[in-house]
Structure 1
């Protein structure tokens, strides 16, 4: 399949090159002068202006025309920006928005469950980039501020602008940059348009779980029309997909920090690293997503226009995760004789007495995302008044249902002898086994690892309190996120030799984010009803499914069943989690009220033969933030908590300047930019949730170093956190030498004034309950997120777009785009500790595309590379974890043909697309040693075949 696609790309391009005439690839481009509000996709939609300049509107069709339109907008933008323009209605250049964004200079995408979901910009992870929709801030369905881009269908987007420098009238900017997603403005189209698209897709890993899918589909439709003498425009768009993903997943215990036999001695061949344990799973995922977008635009006069737009996305994701966990060194298992040791690592050997823990889990996520906005703009006599009101909301409900099975309870049942071999270029490790994990007579519903740990207790009929087995676990995280915004700004044109306009404005946002995570233990009903006699039970045959395939790891097949059925038929019973970190459902609420006043002066001056444009301005931001959540403690097996509210009020002044020097030859531009930038802390970092302890023995000690109070834990937040702040400068040279050709070199430097990290700080425990005498001190130390020192981030980006007809007319239609980015960081939040990597940071990024586009034929091959990076992955209970990811290169290709004028099929396009053609895995490892693999995920390749029709 991979060979056929690449051969088709090359063959179609070469055949067409040999037979095509000398038609100008730009003939289909229609350009006309128009107001900047209609065309400046790279300008803030809420203001509808790009500095008051007259720009070019370009109606595009095809990849080369899309590239030309994007370059035209980049060329005329008033800040450093990267632009993506749809090839046609409903046709972004890639299969997803994140994949398109990841092809831009200095940007890399991280794949989560095989999909490009989040981005890193200029070496800074998703936390440092904010996303707008039509210029308005958006809520998120996760615990961070970066959106999950797979919530936004590419088919109903008209383009994307990525602002790399700050401009004072762009609200909600990030420290790394700002992504602005665009939807259609119907009055930009001169006639009715109806566009339909449908594709089927296939994933190469096959059906790893019997109740999953290997074939998917997607379709979209867009309608655009004008009414009332072309003063009223309406656009409607819908997109729906059913996308399967099959993941061969292996995780190895130690989080990259593999154990060593003697922890007091350094690593050597006589004291080597050894695998602590393994978790082998086949994950089968089916994503269903429906997106709707609607826009009404009314322009009754030349000086007034109003726009109302609405966006909705429904996200339904289910994943079957089935496999075996193998406790090895960190268990009672015994290392076999004569292991193979190489350079301080046990690379092969055996473990005996291995007690495997079978898992048949289900993870579900349902999310609804809403966005609505109204914008009105009135212009007269050099004055422009713009008003904007926006609303964004997200409602996400997830669940993770774990169900355990094995040969018997902890300490009983058959054990296995497991052989292991290091294969760092394959799946990290390969295994051999002796037991049949797919045998329903051997595998029972039980607690094979003894994971209850005495935490589950129930009184028996005899009045005795008994420990119960833990047969599973269920948590159901829920997020509700809501944001209101209102904005008013006034622009006055100026007749001056230095300035062209001045803008003053104010913006207000009110955001509330609530998080809850109810948790339960799963026990068998038989054990719950008879706590005095804990035992294992046979898996009901009615719940059994086709065995799950684990042959990729050497473990063969494993039992598979749906735990939801066992809960529904009464085989399972749920017990509410009573641990300290389960109390009050790990709930917290965050509220942010932000007032932003801004001013901007647009520049327009002649410096000899050089034209100076751009802007200078500033934002003054007032923030009021607060959070409410539980502070939890467990003393003497008794758990108590106090609802705790805290917050902060602070101000930020963010000046910015964008200077654009257009040379006497206007194809050459130099851009200089300077600004102060900021990024707010993650919502989970701002939460009031904390766990604490109280030691009555220290109650009368007045020394804070011996205070009875202390707090700390992975979930602890800090509602008083202030944002990351950085001073940044950019210098860019741009040369536009053809319709679809340009060269750009950009350098940048960011001085981070602050950084957020875990620190031991003083916390006030006034009002917290105590178990014992009243303490002398109500203060103690808490380890929680704090504002620390910053550091430096700097780098350079090089980008080139080259149509090959500049080299030879025989190559008309061929071309390439490419870019390379280098970023260096030195972040030291705690001066006493060494510098640390930033989440999402890659020192090197590179993207390249070779394309052919002529007379309806299109063919493209693309490669995206990023060096190693600190990846954000899902940890226990769907919490956030950070792991060092290995560098990766993703190869994609697509070929299509659009029937041309004169054909009875005019308007029809057929296409074949392939993604991750080389089946590049995601690999995480530890200690800087790629042999110490912690995660290995094989997503397979994805192929799509489809057609679109426009009339």
Structure 2
């Protein structure tokens, strides 16, 4: 039998002290140690060392993976985990507030992939399972491994893949190390709000040591980040018949503050016992100031005059007139989000004898998140009857991604713009249900608690002969509870209501103690607008608060608890043999997964006095899925591999879709029918039967080429499906005919589909071609994707009960047809420089909408360029500076905007344009 022979890459890395972390490939290390002793080692550092390590892990894994590793302690190649991951072949990131956050794998977004920390499933800050990767600082990570194909011992899976973030192992690190990093940060778009920031800083400290004859290892890291972010934003309500319906341009200033503590204890009291304990705590705060005008147009009561058009879209004209004032709402909004994440893990591995070993793992993680999202309104008068004359001339850019406004009113004059409700946004307070002028602001205050406990017991039996080298089997248990409480309050100025709850034309001049300097909106030609500290104004009790849950059924519908218990039994056979003269290795196994899911929520029914009758409701389901998997690696030539994977995997449902809460039927005046939503706590996972085929050629210790094809056959897809109901006994609003048929929508497992694609990746080093090019190199990848989901729905054809069955085809959310990544670098004699490029085509993404509810949108493609230079004084003749590295980073060098559309059918159908400017970071790190 032919045994697998480690390449120069793996052997060289083992002699340099590198360890491969907690991966299924660990069983191969003993063989590698022996081979390493006969290899001449060429010492490299920085990005070249990182690429070698990543390449070695990729080569040794039995699953198809992508890897990014730290260049040094606390130094991943980028300033965030998300940016590093997004550069890997087949992966792409969606930006959130200018930062890479959610990750898609092979076109499947965050809700179709799993994220783990040291191999353990993680709770999340959001309303669902998707992890926001910018929460995790790069300074505490040693490596990130992305599993594109599953195997039976991988407990947390998704149809897209699994992203495992790993910390350092102090005993495998092998030496005492202390590292200190300090960086300053500047956002070159400037401080767009007078009370915002455009400078910040980041710092970290890491300590690794070994004691008791290398039987006890400790690692500790602390990282602090205070990162500014500013944004010029142009937002449209929509384009009815090509005419602007309304717009909401504003400037945003944000500061993300994050403190992270990480600790690892590794204890090996004997040759056959190993204990690992790790802990992580993250304190996360995101404070955002948003100021700008909300301008009704075609969908407002002032009307609009269009003078010229561009491809059917209004380009120039006037909103409002002297006799029909616009009613601009001057917004001073604040969003503050605070969260605490705690994760604890305990792992014990015990070798019973040469043939048997066992593992026990226990973990606990929890997130507590609180959000305050405040809207504060001001204008030239309360309601249409009291507004000052105002009109605004507009000229849109040719691409509709910006506008130039020429208002005839001075919105920066505090004598003109005062607190109040210029648009007659009324919620109907309980004293006067017919009032329509009493909403002077609103605040959303949702909370999310997410708690997860996992246990794993496993054993491995080493076989003495035969094609099966070992067998792994075990059981995994997880218990997760996620709770969301959605609350919000209408805000009314106390002086606007009389003793009967009636509203007059009351306005309040902004008190001087809350005023801040005016905000410039010159980027849209609007001039200045008044600004004040609305959050402190609210905190000081200057508004009356009315609980929106009394009259808004959406609050109870969006309040829920989901409990999920998962029990997984698995067995995996590790394979090492030959097929003819070709060595073959890999694994084959199966998981049997039993899921018990339940949800508690509420149903609501509107009463005659406009209040709601709210009652608790529960639901759930219990079911079992069988997930087989096979991964085979054929060593077709020296350092050339052909990988094949066949598997069935699943992505458990989003939690907000599993909730038991239901809403009531409401009359939709736009289409003249009753509509509403019902819950489905019995929603099943999305399934995928997948095939993967990859060719990898590791032609150099710093170079490889890979070609991959994959196909995923999807079933049990989730869609929000309408169901027709009899509404003939319901009375519509005045002026509308009775509608005998209504629509209740719920998430259902409907439709089948596929995702397929090709991936190409290449890593090169200049030294392969010429000594003159030593130090130069590049990493390149391209991904080409195709997807479709097909389903049939019964839809109404009229309001009299007519229906028809129609067939539909959609693309998978989060999928870009084309994704490109490229990094070109130079590293020699302590100097390092690199330029990175990321590109993706249009895709269907998600953003926060009204009341912070996640809203699907069409996202236009983007091209991002980052750069970095550094110098390591350890390569210099200045001995006193050895250990010091200076680094300069530049992000978003081309100032690429984030653009979404109401539809991508026309590039002019723009919904939102966010421009963030460039971020520059300069700092120093010192390693002892």
User: Is TM > 0.5 for Structure 1 vs Structure 2?
Assistant: yes
The equivalent position to 1:296 in structure 2, one of 265, 271, 278, is 265
Q: Does 1:555 align with 2:526?
A: yes
Structure 1 residue 425, shift from structure 2 partner: 4.4
Structure 1 residue 551, shift from structure 2 partner: 1.0
The equivalent position to 2:676 in structure 1, one of 690, 696, 712, is 712
- In the alignment, the residues of structure 2 paired with residue 603 and residue 220 of structure 1 have an alpha-carbon distance, to the nearest angstrom, of 43
Contact 2:90/2:105, CA 8 A, preserved across alignment: yes
After TM superposition, the structure 1 stretch with the greater mean CA deviation from structure 2, 822-831 or 843-852, is: 822-831
Q: Does 1:116 align with 2:100?
A: yes
The equivalent position to 2:340 in structure 1, one of 355, 365, 368, is 368
Residue number in structure 2 paired with 1:16:
none
Q: Does 1:786 align with 2:754?
A: no
Residue number in structure 2 paired with 1:935:
912
Structure 1 residue 559, shift from structure 2 partner: 1.1
- In the alignment, the residues of structure 1 paired with residue 503 and residue 452 of structure 2 have an alpha-carbon distance, to the nearest angstrom, of 53
Deviations 1:492-514 (A, max 9, x none): 11122311000111000000000
Structure 1 residue 426, shift from structure 2 partner: 7.2
Q: Does 1:818 align with 2:784?
A: no
Deviations 1:25-67 (A, max 9, x none): 9999753399xxx8333725xx965798747999973001100
Q: 1:424 to 1:915 in 2, by over 3 A?
A: farther
The equivalent position to 1:409 in structure 2, one of 375, 382, 391, is 382
- Correspondence 1:560-571 to 2 at 5 A: 560-571=531-542
Q: Does 1:388 align with 2:374?
A: no
- In the alignment, the residues of structure 2 paired with residue 42 and residue 821 of structure 1 have an alpha-carbon distance, to the nearest angstrom, of 28
Contact 2:105/2:113, CA 8 A, preserved across alignment: yes
Q: Does 1:342 align with 2:313?
A: no
Q: 1:50 to 1:787 in 2, by over 3 A?
A: farther
Residue number in structure 2 paired with 1:839:
813
Q: Does 1:469 align with 2:433?
A: no
Pairs aligned (count): 872
The equivalent position to 1:905 in structure 2, one of 860, 881, 904, is 881
Contact 1:519/1:582, CA 8 A, preserved across alignment: no
Unaligned runs of 5+ in 1: 1-24, 261-272, 696-707, 766-778
Q: 1:497 to 1:99 in 2, by over 3 A?
A: same
- Correspondence 1:321-360 to 2 at 5 A: 321-336=290-305, 339-352=307-320, 353-360=325-332
Structure 1 residue 883, shift from structure 2 partner: 1.0
Q: Does 1:259 align with 2:231?
A: no
Residue number in structure 2 paired with 1:759:
721
Deviations 1:803-830 (A, max 9, x none): 0111221000001001000110011243
Residue number in structure 1 paired with 2:825:
851
Contact 1:40/1:77, CA 8 A, preserved across alignment: no
Residue number in structure 1 paired with 2:921:
944
Q: Does 1:924 align with 2:924?
A: no
Structure 1 residue 475, shift from structure 2 partner: 1.1
Q: Does 1:497 align with 2:459?
A: no
Deviations 1:247-270 (A, max 9, x none): 11111012xxx202xxxxxxxxxx
Residue number in structure 1 paired with 2:288:
319
Q: Does 1:250 align with 2:234?
A: yes
Contact 1:580/1:633, CA 8 A, preserved across alignment: no
- In the alignment, the residues of structure 2 paired with residue 512 and residue 26 of structure 1 have an alpha-carbon distance, to the nearest angstrom, of 44
- In the alignment, the residues of structure 1 paired with residue 452 and residue 584 of structure 2 have an alpha-carbon distance, to the nearest angstrom, of 38
Contact 2:665/2:744, CA 8 A, preserved across alignment: no
Structure 2 counterpart SS, 1:746? strand
Q: 1:404 to 1:900 in 2, by over 3 A?
A: same
Structure 2 counterpart SS, 1:209? coil
Structure 1 residue 634, shift from structure 2 partner: 1.1
After TM superposition, the structure 1 stretch with the greater mean CA deviation from structure 2, 61-70 or 570-579, is: 570-579
Contact 1:26/1:65, CA 8 A, preserved across alignment: no
Structure 1 residue 296, shift from structure 2 partner: 0.3
Contact 2:400/2:910, CA 8 A, preserved across alignment: no
The equivalent position to 2:159 in structure 1, one of 158, 175, 197, is 175
Residue number in structure 1 paired with 2:495:
526
Residue number in structure 1 paired with 2:482:
513
Residue number in structure 1 paired with 2:416:
442
Q: 1:64 to 1:782 in 2, by over 3 A?
A: same
Structure 2 counterpart SS, 1:31? helix
- Correspondence 1:345-744 to 2 at 5 A: 345-352=313-320, 353-379=325-351, 380-411=353-384, 412-425=386-399, 427-453=401-427, 455-458=428-431, 469-528=438-497, 530=499, 531-534=501-504, 535-577=506-548, 578-581=550-553, 584=556, 586-636=558-608, 637-663=610-636, 665-693=637-665, 712-713=676-677, 716-744=678-706
Contact 1:43/1:50, CA 8 A, preserved across alignment: no
After TM superposition, the structure 1 stretch with the greater mean CA deviation from structure 2, 637-646 or 217-226, is: 637-646
Deviations 1:64-104 (A, max 9, x none): 11001100010000100001110000000101000000000
Residue number in structure 1 paired with 2:89:
105
Residue number in structure 2 paired with 1:263:
none
Aligned-pair RMSD on alpha carbons? Answer: 2.5
Runs of 4+ in 1 over 4 A off after TM superposition: 25-30, 47-60, 464-468, 582-585, 761-765
Unaligned runs of 5+ in 2: 1-7, 668-672, 728-740, 794-805
- In the alignment, the residues of structure 2 paired with residue 145 and residue 760 of structure 1 have an alpha-carbon distance, to the nearest angstrom, of 25
